[in-house]
Amino acid sequence: MSKERVKSQDLGITRYQLFCVIAASASSINSGWNLAVTNIAGDIITKCLGGPQRSIGGLPSCIPTSDIVWGVAVGAYALGALCGALSSTRFSNKYGRRWVLLYSNVVGLGASVVLALSANIAMVMVGRVAAGIAQGAANGTFTTYVVEITTPRARTSLASMTQMAVSTGMLLAFALSLATLEPPLWRVLFGVTGMLCIVSMALMCLCVESPRWLGMNGRAAQAEAALVRLRSGADVTEELDLITMTASEGGSSRTASVVELLCGRTPDNLRHQLLVAVGLMFFQQASGISSIGFFSTTLFSSISSTSDAAHDVSKPTVPQELSVVLMAAGAAATLGGMFLAGYWGRRPLLLAGHGGMAVFSVLVAAGNLAAAPRLAVGAVFLYFIIFFIGPGPLPWAIPNELTPTYASAAVMAVNNSVCYLGIFIVGLAFAPLLSLTGGYTFLIFAATNAAAFVFLLLFLPETKDGDVAELVAVHSVGIHRVWPVKRKCVTPND
């Protein structure tokens, strides 16, 4: 008597699923790298801390510029990523998720060449914009790809891989920055993004296309072949039938554009999904987290009473070392958050995350105002760690868990656009804001995190272990509150 095969949708994480997720994560590692690479190297490049500007190999050892102009150069990456995220929907829907993840690296390679050979600040800005376009297109597509190739059980943990990959990239950028403090080694940092692009292209060549995208485009045979590889010999019949049925009900290759989504011209009423996607990412950035990603060294220097004016540039300062430790703590917290999301669910982690960040923001401000650097630094660490447990990874995962396949690329494009717009604004405004408000800066972030808590309490549904089709059916009824739950009154005559 033959043993009945396990249904594919009942599987957890398989080896090939995990390989494809890790391979695709290279693009998000690159995104984290580009977000953090200017942090420690910034003063070396713009303030010529390694000595007066001189020519090394025909290129300047540093590029003197003002803080405001450097802020624009730093934020230019996010501006490019915004453009990449908005354009990714068309390419992702037309050519496939894997195609975008593979070929966005070509633009990234070009960007790395421009950055590594920059002779002036204008070239840095152009390179940052180009790198942003490449990573903006890939980063949002990565989340969609992960959700579409994983089973519900595997998705509980792996859907948070976007933030894990971004955290890893930031940690690598900070760690390598400490070894490349002397000019012109900062150019090596800019060139690493090209190496990551080559690794990403090589790995993605070994991965399959999203079965859901294949089914949506009428390629049932290819969708079945992809499922067989991803599900490690399990019975894929039921899952393939569901993909085929969903595609036929949605009009096969019918996909929603960003304009259709924003104007409400979709088969399902996705206004609540759009509100959740935009709200999650808006509050993620309004929490103030990008200020630490871009300017943690500056922030720790402002908290510390020590001066590094006469410091040997070849040796890391205490604020620089603290920044590396902070990034390591963030990466570890993200890994922990991936597992906690599977036990506690998305909603409790996000509520605890933003609530905790509000409290720790107040403590950062209190430490600054009371001249208690240990309190302020400790609060920054706790603020950063709790972000990566919930508010960091989950806004990338939840929108796809609430959205039908035909609209997932459009929803993630809007989601990512809000993220990168926030990063651009923070990159441009945080340094002047810190100078203007001093110790009160984090009180602003305390208020935005408190507002996030209220928003999540009212509108965020739980998606843990949920079937996407069922979640879509329940929440495609327009904007509605999920708390408090309305209860039907029962009278004695009923």
Q: What is the 3-state secondary structure (H, E, C) of 111-149?
A: HHHHHHCCCCHHHHHHHHHHHHHHHHHHHHHHHHHHHHH
Number of other CB atoms surrounding residue 10 within 10 Å: 14
Report yes or no: 469 and 242 within 8 Å, Cβ to Cβ.
yes
Distance CA 232, CA 202 (A): 23
Which of 365, 431, 426, 357 lies closest to 391 in space, CA to CA? 357
Q: Rg of the chain's alpha carbons, rounded to an integer?
A: 23
Coil, strand or helix: which one is 323? helix
Distance CA 37, CA 366 (A): 30
Q: What is the dihedral of CA 46, 47, 51, 57, to 10 degrees?
A: 10
Coil, strand or helix: which one is 269? strand
Element containing residue 42 per DSSP (H, E): helix 26-46
189 phi and psi, to 5 degrees? -60, -45
pLDDT of residue 279: 96
Report yes or no: 404 and 250 within 8 Å, Cβ to Cβ.
yes
The whole-angstrom distance between residue 192's C-alpha and the CA centroid of its chain comes to 19
Q: How many helices (H) and strands (E) does the chain have?
A: 21, 2
Would you call the peptide bond into 183 cis, given omega within 30 degrees of 0 as the criterion? no
The CA angle 22-84-34, to the nearest 5 degrees, is 60
Q: Packing angle between helix 186-204 and helix 15-24, nearest 10 degrees?
A: 140
Distance CA 271, CA 406 (A): 15
For residue 315, the 8-state DSSP code is: S
Instruction: Write the single-letter amino acid at 374.
Output: R
Distance CA 377, CA 396 (A): 28
Residues 6 or more apart in contact with residue 459 via CB below 8 angstroms: 272, 275, 276, 279, 479, 480, 481, 482
Q: The tokens of 6 are what?
A: 């396990």
Q: What is the dihedral of CA 402, 407, 411, 412, to 10 degrees?
A: 90
Q: Which residues pair with 235 in a beta bridge?
A: 7
Distance CA 288, CA 304 (A): 20
Distance CA 115, CA 31 (A): 15
Coil, strand or helix: which one is 56? strand
pLDDT of residue 254: 63
| Whole-number Cα distances in Å, 1 to 4, 195, 234 | 9, 53, 18
- What is the pLDDT tens value at each position of the chain, 494 positions in all? 445 677 777 788 889 999 999 999 999 999 999 988 988 888 889 988 888 889 998 999 999 998 788 888 888 998 899 999 888 888 988 899 999 999 999 999 999 999 999 999 999 999 999 999 999 999 878 988 988 898 877 876 777 788 788 889 989 998 898 888 788 889 999 999 999 999 999 999 999 999 989 988 888 899 999 999 998 878 888 888 888 877 666 544 467 888 999 999 998 999 999 999 999 999 999 998 877 766 677 778 766 655 444 556 667 888 888 888 888 998 888 888 877 877 788 899 999 999 999 999 999 889 888 888 888 889 989 999 999 898 998 998 899 889 988 888 889 889 988 988 888 887 677 777 777 877 688 899 999 999 999 999 999 999 887 777 788 889 999 999 998 866 444 444 54
Q: What is the pTM of this model?
A: 0.79
